[in-house]
């Protein structure tokens, strides 16, 4: 049987037995939440703290955005701990699908303790000027370089076991994106420990019928593949050079802290949903048959998590579509 992953199936299975809670960076009117204020000390990290009933989280910005080249080391840091403006991606032309909001911080998510300096060379001759050497400070998926201590990243710590679904924007599909555990600094493996779904820039629905008039909607893909399976390719969303608006879904252990970030750029954070309970939801979805429903839509094309009153359409993993009427 074909194995698939569907956020919709996960949500439907979980809602009946477990509670769901969420937090987003935007207010209902699309404005950025008031929590996003830069630290008054420009040399200190800006930290937004948020929580729901069962999850505590942080979103950080800065403070170091780079280093000024110079004749002596350590070099003088360029500090920036501000927040970007809130961004909005419309997912449908008529507004029937809720837009995707996200916000970015400043600075790359690195371990500043591992930044070193190298002399700038011209034709093999030293110039007496030095620049920052970042390579050893970047995160490594095996945890050997430690976790970020600077820049833009998110942490989430559930109080009880459950399933976390995190919304993130990646400016190019060629960027590594990680969900790493604080306990060992290792990244969750996509396809088995963490699942990617979402939208890739430039891809629209092409399915058209009297019952399924979806052209003009961005295609929510229930499974997004990575660039490859070896090395860092296993952590690069297979979106080529396109931007992607994605959901990272994984089983979360009570008391564990999860870091979410891009390796060497500023990931946009949208928010999260948390469904309490064990990890059976993830496991059952990962082993579902090809006849598992992967999407629900109302007759006007709006995507819903479960059938609602009226005419509903179910699109299955094998490509078939069925009409459901709920009274």
What CA–CA distance (Å, rounded) separates 202 from 200? 6
Q: State residue 324's pLDDT score.
A: 62
The pLDDT tens digits for 120-147 are 999 999 999 999 999 999 999 999 999 9
DSSP conformational letter for 15: H
Write the burial class of residue 135 (CB in 10 Å: 0-12 exposed, 13-18 middle, 19+ buried): exposed
The pLDDT tens digits for 148-197 are 999 999 999 999 999 999 999 999 878 899 999 999 999 999 999 999 99
Query: The whole model's pTM is what?
Result: 0.80
Residue 10: its H or E element? helix 7-17
Residue with tokens 């009427």: 325
Return all residues near 55 (Cβ < 8 A) that are at least 6 apart: 21, 23, 156, 157, 158, 159, 164, 272, 274
Residue 296: its H or E element? strand 293-298
Q: State residue 296's pLDDT score.
A: 64
The pLDDT tens digits for 246-262 are 999 999 999 999 999 99
Return all residues near 39 (Cβ < 8 A) that are at least 6 apart: 45, 46, 47, 62, 63, 81
The pLDDT tens digits for 12-71 are 443 345 788 999 999 999 999 999 999 999 999 999 999 999 999 999 999 999 999 999
Please enumerate, as own/partner, the contacts of 27-34 that have beta carbons within 8 Å and a separation of 24 or more: 30/86, 30/88, 30/99, 30/101, 31/86, 32/83, 32/85, 32/86, 32/103
The pLDDT tens digits for 225-239 are 899 999 999 999 988
How do strand 194-200 and strand 244-252 relate by DSSP bridges? antiparallel
What CA–CA distance (Å, rounded) separates 279 from 194? 12
Q: Which of 278, 279, 296 is nearest to 212 (CA)?
A: 296
Residue 48: its H or E element? strand 46-51
Query: What b-and-e string marks burial along 240-256, b requiring 16 or more CB atoms within 10 Å of the CB?
Result: eebbbbbbbbbbbbeee
What CA–CA distance (Å, rounded) separates 117 from 199? 39
Structure tokens at 136: 């050893």
Instruction: Kindly calculate the radius of gyration of the chain based on its CA atoms and give it in whole angstroms.
Output: 21
Ramachandran angles phi, psi of 282, nearest 5°: -60, -45
Q: State residue 281's pLDDT score.
A: 39
What CA–CA distance (Å, rounded) separates 211 from 217? 15
Alpha carbon distance, N-terminus to C-terminus of the chain? 33
Give the dihedral sign, CA 233/239/243/249: negative
């Amino acid at each position: 049987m074909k194995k698939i992953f569907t956020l919709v199936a996960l949500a439907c299975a979980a809602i009946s037995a477990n509670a769901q809670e969420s937090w987003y960076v935007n207010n209902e009117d699309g404005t950025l939440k008031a929590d996003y204020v830069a630290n008054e000390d420009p040399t200190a990290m800006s930290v937004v703290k948020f929580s729901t009933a069962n999850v505590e989280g942080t979103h950080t910005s800065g403070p170091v955005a780079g280093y000024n080249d110079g004749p002596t080391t350590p070099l003088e840091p360029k500090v920036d701990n501000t927040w970007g403006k809130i961004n909005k991606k419309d997912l449908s032309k008529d507004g029937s699908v809720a837009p995707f909001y996200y916000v970015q911080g400043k600075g790359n998510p690195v371990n500043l303790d591992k930044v070193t300096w190298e002399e700038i060379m011209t034709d093999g001759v030293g110039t007496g000027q030095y620049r920052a050497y970042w390579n050893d400070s970047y995160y490594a998926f095996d945890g050997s370089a430690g976790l970020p201590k600077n820049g833009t990243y998110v942490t989430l710590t559930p109080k009880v076991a459950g399933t976390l679904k995190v919304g993130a924007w990646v400016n190019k599909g060629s960027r590594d994106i990680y969900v790493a555990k604080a306990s060992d600094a290792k990244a969750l493996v996509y396809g088995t420990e963490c699942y990617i779904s979402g939208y890739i820039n430039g891809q629209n629905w092409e399915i058209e019928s009297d019952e399924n008039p979806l052209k003009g909607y961005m295609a929510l893909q229930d499974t997004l593949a990575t660039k490859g399976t070896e090395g860092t390719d296993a952590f690069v969303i297979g979106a080529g050079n396109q931007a992607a608006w994605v959901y990272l879904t994984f089983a979360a252990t009570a008391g564990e802290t999860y870091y979410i970030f891009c390796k060497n750029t500023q990931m946009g954070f949208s928010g999260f949903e948390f469904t309490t309970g064990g990890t059976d939801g993830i496991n059952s979805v990962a082993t579902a048959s090809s006849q598992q429903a992967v999407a629900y839509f109302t007759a006007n094309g709006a995507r819903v998590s479960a059938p609602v009153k009226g005419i509903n359409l179910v699109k299955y993993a094998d490509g078939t579509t069925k009409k459901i009427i709920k009274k």
